[in-house]
Amino acid sequence: MTSPKPLTGIRVLELARILAGPWAGQLLADLGADVVKVERPGAGDDTRTWGPPWVDRPDGSHLAAGYFNATNRGKRSIEVDLESPDGQTTIRKLAAHADVVIENFKVGGLKKYGLDYASLSAVNPRLIYCSVTGFGQDGPYAHRPGYDFMIQGMSGIMSLTGEPDGEPLKTAVAYADVFTGLYSSNAILAALQGRTLTGRGCHIDMALLDTQVAVIGNQAMVYLLTGRPPPRTGNAHTSIVPYQVFPTADGHIIIACGNDSQFRKLCGLLGTDWADDPAYATNPARVANREVLVPLLADVTRTWTKADLLAGFERVGVPAGPINTLDEVFADPQIIHRGMVLDLPEPEARGGKVPMLRTPIVIDGEAQVAPTAPPRLGQHSSEVLSDPAWGFRES
């Protein structure tokens, strides 16, 4: 018998769109929460039209963009006009029976509708209200809209990404949004636990800029300890050598030696005596002499094929790996074994299913993933608005 998921019985009202807020909502849905996504009548979440690619119907028309499907699994969709008095009444009624509200309107944007934290917590003092914005609820930038790309630039991560003589680069995934969604869900889980102690809800203030600065991590410490911004180093590591991309006879691989023992094993496989040379025997020495050591290493690695070198490193215990394209990722036996891709049923989609990536969370051997595909716009309006758990009478 399958155990109930951790958030079974928790009700989440999602007044969010695009990525960061919906990402948090999807994770809560994966963990068992009933997440009701409120969408604009006739239009819905902006990302429904952010295609191609699309999830298509059998007749070739579009069901929704792949972008929307990436972040709205397991939710129920209702259409509500927040600008209308009836819509506002509906949201207040839903909030009265919710455990969590997630919203990503501009600061103060919901106050004019009476749907801000102060208004809804007066109706439901146990409500946990998570606001996601670009810059937070206060400060000189609080009024500004925030988008992932500009946040990556402002946070400093782009100054660290790219080749030393190239232009700064963003990541290919909207990591400011994704990380903010993850931190938001973490904060919500903490607030749910905190509510068991206090009996009251709270207002969570999540900002994309705060989050992206926070995840700079060890690179931030380089600046905080030295007063000097770390330079862009391409695929190299500022504090570990060898820890970067190396050439082979038929492509490139990653070598990631995290300690001196691994470096000695690397040298043994490659047939060199560098591990006995004081200039390279320790990691601090290798970092100091990287300009000499890395070309020496590259001259040897390029005489091996990728397959032979990776097999050799695995045999002796040196961390190394390929640089996969996505087709190679999803053909990888480890990814297949772990079931990272799954098909969720959707009767209106071509083939009757939608391919999804599951959450990476596994509890007691069970992958935590919602069993339903992302909802069609307004698919559950009648169902939710007659659900006694949300304060409505059955029709």
CA dihedral (232, 236, 238, 239) in degrees, to 10, reads 170
Checking if the pLDDT of 287 tops 60, the result is: yes
**Token pair recorded at residue 90:** 């509906």
Reported as type and span, the H/E element at residue 286 is: helix 283-288
Same domain, 134 and 266: no
Q: Is the pLDDT of residue 38 over 80?
A: yes
User: Residue 311 falls within a domain, yes or no?
Assistant: yes
pLDDT at residue 395, rounded to an integer: 56
The DSSP output letter for 14 is E
- Using the predicted structure, report yes or no on whether residue 3 has a pLDDT greater than 90: no
Place of tokens 């869900």: 185
Is the domain of 41 the same as that of 184?
A: yes
Is the bond preceding residue 247 a cis peptide, omega within 30 degrees?
no
Tell me the whole-structure pTM to 2 decimals: 0.93
Q: Are residues 175 and 46 in the same domain?
A: yes
Q: Given a cut of 80, is residue 188 above it in pLDDT?
A: yes
Residue 224 falls inside a structural domain = no
Mean pLDDT of the chain: 96
Q: 86-95, pLDDT tens digit by residue? A: 999 999 999 9
Which of the following is catalytic: 34, 116, 177, 387? 177
Number of structural domains, the chain?
2
Indicate whether 76 and 173 sit together in one domain.
yes
Query: What is the residue range of 24's domain?
Result: 11-215+336-390
pLDDT in tens, 378-392: 999 999 999 999 999
Q: Is the peptide bond before 295 cis (omega within 30 degrees of 0)?
A: no
Residue 200 has pLDDT above 80, yes or no: yes
pLDDT value of position 393: 83
Regarding whether 120 and 37 lie in a shared domain, the answer is: yes
User: Catalytic site residue 299?
Assistant: no
Same domain, 158 and 198: yes
Q: What pLDDT is attached to residue 1?
A: 55
DSSP secondary structure string, 291-340? HHHHHHHHHHHTTS-HHHHHHHHHHHT--EEE---HHHHHH-HHHHHHT-
Amino acid at 388: P
Residue 247 forms part of a structural domain? yes
Q: Work out whether the CA dihedral 236, 242, 244, 245 comes out positive or negative.
A: positive
pLDDT of residue 238: 87
Question: What is the per-residue pLDDT for 33?
Answer: 98
Q: Which two tokens stand for residue 144?
A: 């500004």
The predicted structure's pLDDT at residue 246 = 98
Domain membership of residue 309 (yes or no) is yes
- Identity of the amino acid at 361: I
Residues 367, 67 contacting (CB under 8 angstroms): no
Tell which residue, 207, 297, 197, has the closest CA to residue 245: 297
pLDDT digits (tens, 9 = 90+) for 159-184: 999 999 999 999 999 999 999 999 99
Give dist(CA 367, CA 293) in Å, integer.
Answer: 43
CA dist., res. 230 & res. 73, Å (int)? 39
Find residue 345's DSSP bridge partners. 353
Average pLDDT over every residue of 178-204: 98
| Cα–Cα distance measured from residue 144 to residue 135, given in angstroms and rounded to the nearest whole number | 7
Query: pLDDT confidence of 22, banded at 50, 70, 90?
Result: very high
Q: What are residue 284's phi and psi, to 5 degrees?
A: -55, -35
| pLDDT band, residue 196 (cuts 50/70/90) | very high
Strands 341-345 and 100-103: unpaired
pLDDT tens digits along 107-162: 999 999 999 999 999 999 999 999 999 999 999 999 999 999 999 999 999 999 99
State percent of the chain over pLDDT 90. 98
- Asked whether residue 228 is assigned to any structural domain, the reply reads no
Residue 223 resides in a domain:
no
Report yes or no on 256 lying in a domain: yes
